[in-house]
Amino acid sequence: MSRLPPVEKLPLALRKNIRDAWDNKKSGFEQQLSDTLTVPWTIEINPNQLYAYAEEGYAKESLGDCISSYINGATDKLKDYVSNAGEEGLKELNSICHAHVITMDLDDEKRFTYCGVDVHDGKLRILFAPGRLGANIDDALSRDVLLKALNEAPAPNSEEAATLSFTARKGIRDEYDNRAEEIRAQIGEILEKPDIKLNPNFEDTFEKLQQESKANTEFRSDWESNLGSFTRFYWEGLVNQLKYQKFDQDDLLREGFHEAVDKGEIAFRIVEKLKYNSYCECDIEDGVLYLQCTSKTWGSNIDDAAQGLLDRL
């Protein structure tokens, strides 16, 4: 369906429905959105434009109720998002949708069967498929659709955000940030070096995995969401290997570690080729201990990455 111009004049009964069911409720919806998202949000919807795409049924006969239903559903879904995403996720949504506006438009690219959402010019835009205005209204901002829209939107203006996708950043927040310090402290206690540093190297890992995902159709599709959790697993595997190899019990092993890893840093990285093993390994370079794998073997046999640590020392 090609784009249509707005209808110049709506039928009287429809104008009354729009006034009673939408215009009189709009400010209340805007207040709900603003309260939920903690910053002022507005709604920009042109009923005359929507009516041009309305076919028989709900949208044609009760457009005001129809618009209210879309916005009510969107408000409920955004409340769910905030409840699950927390403060950082809320900040991210407000940053990505920097116009702080909800609007509606035709899905002229035919991305959705009934309805969905994207971010356009910083606005959160509810999209309806051609001939589907008023159908499956509550699904427009379903969780997966909303997260995909945020992931595909232009990144906020920060160096990390410009490198990492929304899904990757969310995975790091949810699966890495809340555990990293605890794991670092465990490693520091085992090695008797409380100021040991962990460098997850997220930006470089993301870039290399993104290249792999584009070149390899069999590469796992959930790599972005697992960026935080898998990096944490590599650290946890290191903890297990340090204990298994008795670094927590042997002064000589700890002394050898500190002599070799004299920068007091442990880092994760993806390399083009492994030296010692098929899936993952450790290596020491310029005083840094690296846990490493290739982009193809990322996430495989994670617990074995530090298996050859004694040999490297």
What secondary structure, in 3-state letters, does the chain show?
A: CCCCCCCCCCCHHHHHHHHHHHHHHHHHHHHHHHHHHCCCCEEECCHHHHHCCCCCCHHHHCHHHHHHHHHHHHHHHHHHHHHHHHHHHHHHHHHHCCCCEEEEEECCCCCCCCEEEEEECCEEEEEECCCCCCCCHHHCCCHHHHHHHHHHCCCCCCHHHHHCCHHHHHHHHHHHHHHHHHHHHHHHHHCCCCCCEEECCHHHHHHHHHHHHHHCCCCCCCCCCCHHHHHHHHHHHHHHHHHHCCCCCCHHHHHHHHHHCCCCEEEEEECCCCCCCCCEEEEEECCEEEEEECCCCCCCCHHHCCCCHHHHC
Going by pLDDT thresholds of 50, 70 and 90, the confidence category of residue 26 is very high
pLDDT at position 186 is 98
pLDDT per residue as tens digits for the range 120-130: 999 999 999 99
Conformational region of residue 286, where left means phi above 0, alpha means psi within -120 to 50, and beta covers everything else:
left
Average pLDDT over the chain reads: 95
Domain boundaries defined on the chain: 12-154, 163-312
Percent share of the chain, pLDDT over 90:
94
Task: Tell me the pLDDT tens digit for each residue of 68-122.
Answer: 999 999 999 999 999 999 899 999 999 999 999 999 999 999 999 999 999 999 9
Per-residue model confidence as pLDDT tens digits over 153-180 = 987 665 555 589 999 999 999 999 999 9
The token duo for 269 is 């990285």
Count of beta carbons in the 10 Å neighbourhood of residue 181: 10
Tell me how crowded residue 300 is: count the other CB atoms within 10 A of its CB: 13
Task: Provide the whole-model pTM.
Answer: 0.84
